[in-house]
Structure 1
């Protein structure tokens, strides 16, 4: 369960050489050596003196080794504990497109923690934040704007959305590959209502102000589905992330130099549990690979 490079480091110390550790994993000696070098670069410490016949721990390497053994023991103890206890993690989520990755993250996590169960609770931006604050959920996935204003909540960014103007395929703007802020003026906008999220709505209007635009909002809707339908029927345009646009029925046009932005985050209480912390790290690692 330890990060692979750390496990390799422990094995090199215990096996006495890079080659012996490599045989354990059916890898080449150079592959193990490269992993240790990457680990040294990441932590900024030389772990082994390689000048002799066999690698020898430096003083800093000895300290790091003892810490890794402690971490290994604690990890094994945690696994033993949770394997004997049924644990449930309740996750709040909205209708965002990035939630499709959540199932993959959960399945990866359950490969290691087989008796951890998950309840997924869907709601609006506002409901997702409220459920987290009231303890109805343990973690939440959503937009940064939903959580950044409350000191009781911590969050980690996972994904940065590409902001676009969404218009119908028949809209004159649909021929453009990108647009600037000037193109956003004098448009009829359809947007998500305050019911979806007050902070989201506030940031949406503030971004227009920073762009020097007074938007003409002709309709507010309560769901992404209604937003997409109205835009595809050419009732107006919308500003949303590229990732949520169905380009079979609407055009996504990236916007240059706008203040409109959205970041997908995982949010949690400051007093999160050990198992929740591990799930948070798993989610972060997953999105780093995308």
Structure 2
């Protein structure tokens, strides 16, 4: 006896007609009749009263019907639960540089969770260099960073270029330039950069911006993290270059103005393993651009 035999029997009972049951099951009536006859032969009992109109079950047939419905219901429940358990066990691990959480990454991850409720999502903070290594070793599935690091084993997609800003103390004279300042305006300032760990980093990226503009700042101090750099700025110790999204970090006496140089942007990259184009990764790309659309942020999706 197979589950399909139970489905056939239940359909005939509920439709009270072999013809209607066959239509419901999308099969021809003769094969359906044979299946019911085979079922009766296997059980050694008669399930339907012969000649009844509409078709009625025997007492044994009614008993069999009630239990068949329960068995089919249990089978569907087992199928559904098994699928759910299988989906929960799927995990996607994301590496990210810390500054991106001040921007849109948190919104992207939240939307991704809503759209993929059965997918387990793990976030791991790591530098861009660490992300490349972790991708190649299979410890993460996707990385979000700011540095252009090439490796034949991974695929890097430019999501967008985030404008840079200058963080200043509320008493700093440069705040008079409300439209913004240029790198040449801050080259003689005491500039805090971050982070101080593994190179290359956002700090080396900012130093390269000065170099590309033929500027040589003499008073650069590299500290451990963005919060520490901005804390020094709020204390009046100097200034700091940060991504636009860092404006969400609010401290007393801390102000932000745009950096106006054309090159004053910080790229945001999403990095995956080469040939890794599974449904989970494609869905994540979709979430990125859904958030960008909601925030009216320009991007070039042809880069995918």
Equivalent residue number for residue 214 of structure 2: 212
Question: Is 1:173 the counterpart of 2:174 in the alignment?
Answer: yes
Q: For the Cα contact (< 8 Å) 1:191–1:217, is it kept in 2? A: no
Normalized per residue, which structure has more strand? 1
Residue correspondences, number? 209
TM-score where L is the length of structure 1 = 0.63
The counterpart of 1:188, out of the listed 190, 203, 206, is 190
Aligned to 2:121: 118
Structure 1: gaps of 5 or more residues: 1-79
Other structure's SS at 1:133 match: helix
**Does the 8 Å CA contact 1:154/1:267 hold for their aligned counterparts?**
yes
Q: Deviations over 1:264-290 (max 9, x none)?
A: 232211132332222223223322331
- Once residues 162 and 268 of structure 2 are traced to their aligned partners in structure 1, the CA distance between those partners, rounded to angstroms, is 7
Q: Return the offset for 1:130.
A: 3.4
* 1:263 aligns to 2:267 (yes or no): yes
Q: Deviations over 1:229-275 (max 9, x none)?
A: 11111212111122213354322121222433202232211132332
* Match of residue 27 from structure 1: none
Q: Deviations over 1:77-103 (max 9, x none)?
A: xxx988844310001122224456444
Residue 17 of structure 1 corresponds to none
Using a 3 Å threshold, how does the CA distance of structure 1 residues 235 and 258 change in structure 2: closer, same or farther? farther
Query: 5 Å matches for 1:213-232?
Result: 213-232=215-234
In 1, are the aligned partners of 2:154 and 2:273 still within 8 Å (CA)?
Answer: yes
Partners of 2:199 and 2:255 in 1: how far apart?
25
Structure with max Cα Rg: 2
- Describe the shift of the 1:204–1:110 C-alpha distance in structure 2 as closer, same or farther (beyond 3 A): closer
Alignment match, 2:164: 163
